Amino acid sequence: MAVIFGGSTGALSAQRTSRVIGPLLRWFKPEVTDDTIRAVQFCIRKTGHVTVYAVLACLWWRARRKPQPGDTRPWDWRAAGESALVAVLYAATDEWHQSFIPSREGSAWDVLLDAAGASLGLVVLWRAGLRRGWWPGTVNRRSE
């Protein structure tokens, strides 16, 4: 959460990240257009939203569940839902915080993107656990 908060300051504003992404793209491909640079920057920034909120939801789930070696509990959708909810609530407060930063703006669309990231992270965690047998008592359709 501290990393996300730090990123929602002016340090990771579009103006600041363009100072890194643009020159890097021009180094790889000098004839790249400004429109292409803006599109790549947009994609990188939005991928960052999805990624950090996926990680946040998974870390919150882990902190809530407190897994132990040899844990025999099945997957708990309630714990996953609570973890997603915490991530979404934090996303909303993060966007609200950004509305006070001159070089940033808060966006409800970003909250939705963050919610999708949190959900995606938990689904990936659940699927990985099914494949690896972490959730005893949970039906794995592939093994049937």
More confident residue, 105 or 85: 85
**Within-domain flag for 27:** yes
pLDDT for res 139: 54
pLDDT of residue 73: 87
Q: How high does pLDDT run on average in the chain?
A: 85
On whether residue 60 sits in a domain, the answer given is yes
Q: What is the pLDDT of residue 69?
A: 80
Query: Domain of 100?
Result: 2-132
Average pLDDT over residues 30-58: 90
- Whether the CB-CB separation of 84 and 57 falls below 8 Å is answered with yes
Report the candidate in 65, 46, 53 with the shortest Cα–Cα distance to residue 134: 65
| Residue 143 counted as domain residue | no
* Mean pLDDT along residues 91-107: 86
38 vs 90: which has the higher pLDDT: 90
Work out how many domains the chain is built from and give that number. 1
Q: What is the mean pLDDT of residues 7-33?
A: 74
Q: Is residue 100 one of the residues assigned to a domain?
A: yes
